[in-house]
Structure 1
Amino acid sequence: MINDSLKVFMQVVDKNSFSKAAKALSLTQPAVSFQIHTLEQYYGTVLFDRVNRNISLTVAGELLLKYAKKMIQLQSEIENSIEDLTGTIKGKLVVGGSTTVGEFILPPLVGNFKKKFTQVDIRLCINNSKETERMVLNDIIDIGIIEGPASSEDLIKEKFIDDELVLVTSTNHPWASIDDISVFKLKDYPFICREKGSGTRHVIESTLKEVGFPLENLNVAMELGSTSAITAAVKNDLGMSIISKWAAREMVEEGLLSTTKLDETKFTRQFTIIMKKDKFRTHAIEEFLGFLNTDKLKRIAKD
C-alpha cells in the first residue's frame, strides 16, 4: 500500500490546507500535522512553507509530489499484475459525482457494483461539476461523472446518459395546478438556484440566455449548494427552482412537489464520464466503466 503519510501529503497539496485535508480524510488536524511532520523528519527537510494560515510547497515538497504521483501509478500497476495472476479484482476505487449525479444516480449504481465486486474498496465523493473535474485532474478521484461538458483537454470524456431539468414548485404554489407557463414569467416569484460552478446552474444560465432571458432577471431568493437543500426549500414555499428530473421524480411521485412545463423551452444536458488521459486503468476502474455502461440501460428502462 502507498504510505499513509504520502496520502495525507497529497491531500494537503490538493486542498492547500491542513484543516481541509483533515476533513476530506476524516482525520483530526493534529493527525494530519503529525503525518506531515513524520515525512519532514524522514526526509530531513521542510515540505511546506507555512506563513500565517497560508501554505505552499517548498522545492523539496515539489520534488516529493512528483515522485509520489509516480509511486501511486506504480502501486496500481503492481495491483493489476497481482490480480492478473490470482484472478481476483480488488483494490481501491474512488468515484466522484457532481451533486445531482452523486445524490440521485450514483449511490444505487455504486451499491450494485459493490455487491458484485466485494473485494473492491469503493468510495463516493460528491462535489459540484467544477470541483469534480479538478479532483480528477489531480488524481484525487479515479472516475468522475459530471453534469454537462468538461473544459480540460487533459480529460477523456464519454457520454453517460441524457438529462432534462424541470421547473418545480411546492404543491401550494399558484403554478402547481398550471400545465404550461411562459419562461419569461419566472421573474414573478422567488427563485432558488445552485451555486456558481454547479452544472445545473450552467445549464439554466445558458438556456435562459438563448431565449433572451438572462439569469439576472430572476428574482433569486437564495443560492444553495445541493439539490437536496433546494428541494427542501421549495417544498417549504421558500421559492421555486429548476432541477434535474432525477432529483424531482421521487418527491413529485410522493406529492411533495409539483412540476410545470415552461412553454417550449427545454433545459437539457448530458451527464459525462470523465477520466484523466494518462490515468493508469486498474481492473477495478475498467470493471466500473463497463458496469456503468451496462447498468445505466437497466436504470433508464425503468423510466
Structure 2
Amino acid sequence: MAINFHQLHIFYTVSEKGSFSHAAASLHMTQPAVTMQVQSLEDYLGVKLFHRSTKRIELSEAGRALLPYAKRSIELVRETEAAMSRFTTMVEGRLQLGASLTVGEYVLPRLLGPFNKEYPNISVSMKVMNTTQILEEILNHQLTFGLVEAAVHHPDVHVEPVLSDELKLIVPANHPLCALEKVTASEMIKYPFVLREKGSGTRRVMEEELSGCGIDTESMRIVMELGSTGAVKSAVENGLGISILSQSSVKHEVALGLVKVLDIEGVAFRRSFYSIYLNTTLLPISAVSFLTFLRERDLGQWL
C-alpha cells in the first residue's frame, strides 16, 4: 500500500470541516467510509492524525504536520487538470453551475456558443440566481461551483476572478442628465433610483464604490428594488428612475436608443466576476475545462 490522493483529500476535508459527519456530507460519502479511509491512512503512516472525543476532533501533532502536504496535493491536482484541459476537446460530461443574474443573463449566453464549439461533448445546466443564493447552495452542497458578480468572503470558499466588467450610470434617453457635459455623483443622487435587490452582486459593488467616494448610499432616493436586471432596465426605459448596471447588459437597449450610458466624474464601478467553490471540492473536468476557457481565451471578441 502507498499514500493515495483520495485518502489525502478525505483527511484534508475532515480537518477543514472539523468532523467526520460533515466531511462525509461534503464528499458525498458515508461516515463509516470516511472513517475507514482515515484509519487506513493512519495505519500506513503508523501515527494518529486526529484526537477523537465524543464532542469533537482535533488534529494531532502528526496531523498538523501532514495538513500542508495534503493541501498542496489538492492544489497540484487542480493545476494538473487545468493544464491538461488545454490539450483535448474530447472531454465529456455535464457542466452544472450557478450564475448570478448579470453573468447568467447577459455574459455567459455569449460565451457558451464558442465554448460548445471547442467542447461539443459537454452539455450545460445553469441555475441563475443572485450571489447570496449561489453561495448558500454551494455551502449546502446543492451546487458544485458558481460564477458571481461580487467577491465572496467565506473561510470555506475558494474565490478566483475570471472575468472583468464595468458598471455605468443608465438613464432614459431623454433624461436631464444627458444634457450635462459631466455628471457628478452629487448631481446624480438628486434623481430617483431603480436598483437591483439587496444581496445582488451589482447592488453590492455599487454601494461599496459610492461609499468609498464618500457618498451616503442611505440618502439615495430608491423608488424601486427589483429582482432582475431585465426588470430594472424596463423601469429605466419607462422613466421610473435611473440605475447603475453592467454596461454589457444594456447593449441592445443603447443600440435601439432606449437608454443612454453615462460616466460619473471621479467614480469607476470596475469589478470582476468570480468563480467560487468549496475549498475541499475537486471540480469535475467539465468545470475545469470551462474555467480554463474563461481564463485563457480573448473573450472580448464575443462580449
TM range (shorter): 0.5 to 0.7
- Name the larger-Rg structure: 2
Distance 1:109 1:301, change over 3 A: closer
Q: 1:127 is matched with which residue: 126, 129, 133?
A: 129
What do the CA deviations read for 1:230-271 (whole angstroms, capped 9, x no partner)?
Answer: 111101111100111111233212212112221111122211
Q: Distance between the aligned counterparts of 1:246 and 1:107, measured in 2?
A: 12
Alignment counterpart, residue 231 of structure 2, candidates 229, 232, 247 = 229
Which fold has the larger relative contact order, with Cα–Cα distance below 8 Å and residues 6 or more apart in sequence?
Answer: 2
Distance 1:195 1:180, change over 3 A: same
Aligned residue identity for 1:66: A
1:286 is matched with which residue? 288
Superposed CA deviations along residues 25-75 of structure 1, whole A, max 9, x for unmatched, are xxxxxxxxxxxxxxxxxxxxxxxxxxxxxxxxxxxxx99x8398227xx9x
Alignment match, 1:136: 138
Give the equivalent residue in structure 2 for 1:89: 91
Deviation at 1:222?
A: 0.2
Asked if the contact 2:163/2:295 (under 8 Å) is kept, the reply is no
Counterpart residue number, 2:84? none
Q: Render the CA deviation track for 1:64-108: whole Å, top value 9, x for unaligned.
A: x8398227xx9xxxxx9xxxxxx9532322121111111111122
State whether structure 2 residue 155 is matched by structure 1 residue 196: no
Letter of the 1:300 counterpart: G
* Residue of structure 1 in register with 2:173 after alignment: 171
Which of residues 8, 18, 29 in structure 2 aligns to 1:70? 29
Which residue type is aligned with residue 189 of structure 2?
Answer: K
User: After superposition, where does 1:101-120 map in structure 2 within 5 Å?
Assistant: 101-120=103-122
- Residues 8-29 of structure 1, C-alpha deviations (whole Å, 9 max, x = no match): xxxxxxxxxxxxxxxxxxxxxx
- Of 286-295 and 222-231, deviating more is 286-295
CA distance in structure 2 between the aligned counterparts of 1:169 and 1:175, rounded to whole angstroms: 8
Q: Which amino acid aligns with 2:25?
A: K
- Specify the SS of the correspondent of 1:285: helix
* Contact 2:163–2:294 (CA under 8 A) maintained in structure 1: no
TM-score (norm 1): 0.68
Matched, 1:161 2:163: yes
Tell me the distance in 2 between the aligned counterparts of 1:175 and 1:269: 24
Q: Which runs of 5+ in 2 are unaligned?
A: 1-20, 35-80, 82-88
Q: Match of 2:237, as an amino acid?
A: K
The structure 1 segments of at least 4 consecutive aligned residues displaced by more than 4 Å after TM superposition are none
Contact between 1:99 and 1:128, CA under 8 Å: does it hold in 2?
A: yes
Partner secondary structure for residue 293 of structure 2: helix
Q: Is the alpha carbon distance of 1:187 and 1:206 closer, same or farther for their aligned partners in structure 2, counting shifts above 3 Å?
A: same
CA contact (8 A) 1:186 1:218 kept: no
Aligned residue number for residue 274 of structure 1: 276
Q: Distance in 2 between matches of 1:262 and 1:289?
A: 33
Check the 8 A contact 2:193/2:243 in 1, yes or no.
yes
When normalised by structure 2's length, the TM-score is: 0.68
State the secondary structure of the residue aligned to 1:262. coil
